[in-house]
Amino acid sequence: MIHAYVFPGQGSQYPGMGKPHYDNNAFSKRIFEQANDILGFKISDVMFHGSEVDLRQTNVTQPAIFLHSVIAYKSIENPTPHMVAGHSLGEFTALVISNTLSFEDALRLVSIRAAAMQKACLSVPSTMAAVLGLDDLKVEEVCQSLREETGEVVVPANYNCPGQLVISGSIKGIEMACERMKAAGAKRAQVLPVGGAFHSPLMEPAREELAAAIEHTAFRRGVCPVYQNVVARGVTDPDQIRQNLINQLTGPVRWTQTIEAMITDGAERFTEVGPRKVLQGLIAKIRKGTNTDGVE
Which residues participate in catalysis according to the annotation? Answer: 88, 199
- Residue pair 206/120 in contact (Cβ under 8 Å)? The answer is yes
- Residue pair 67/30 in contact (Cβ under 8 Å)? The answer is no
- Residue pair 225/236 in contact (Cβ under 8 Å)? The answer is yes
- Residue pair 177/119 in contact (Cβ under 8 Å)? The answer is no
Cα(217)–Cα(221) distance, integer angstroms: 13
**Crossing angle of helices 26-39/58-74, nearest 10°?**
150
Q: First vs last Cα of the chain: how many Å apart?
A: 22
Handedness of CA 43, 37, 30, 97 (dihedral sign): positive
Dihedral in degrees, nearest 10, Cα atoms 214, 219, 224, 225: 40
Say how many residues make up the chain.
296
Cα(116)–Cα(211) distance, integer angstroms: 11
What residues form DSSP beta bridges with 128?
A: 168
How far lies 209's CA from each of 94, 242, 248, in Å? Answer: 21, 14, 13
Q: How many CB atoms within 10 Å of residue 46?
A: 20
- Residue pair 256/162 in contact (Cβ under 8 Å)? The answer is yes
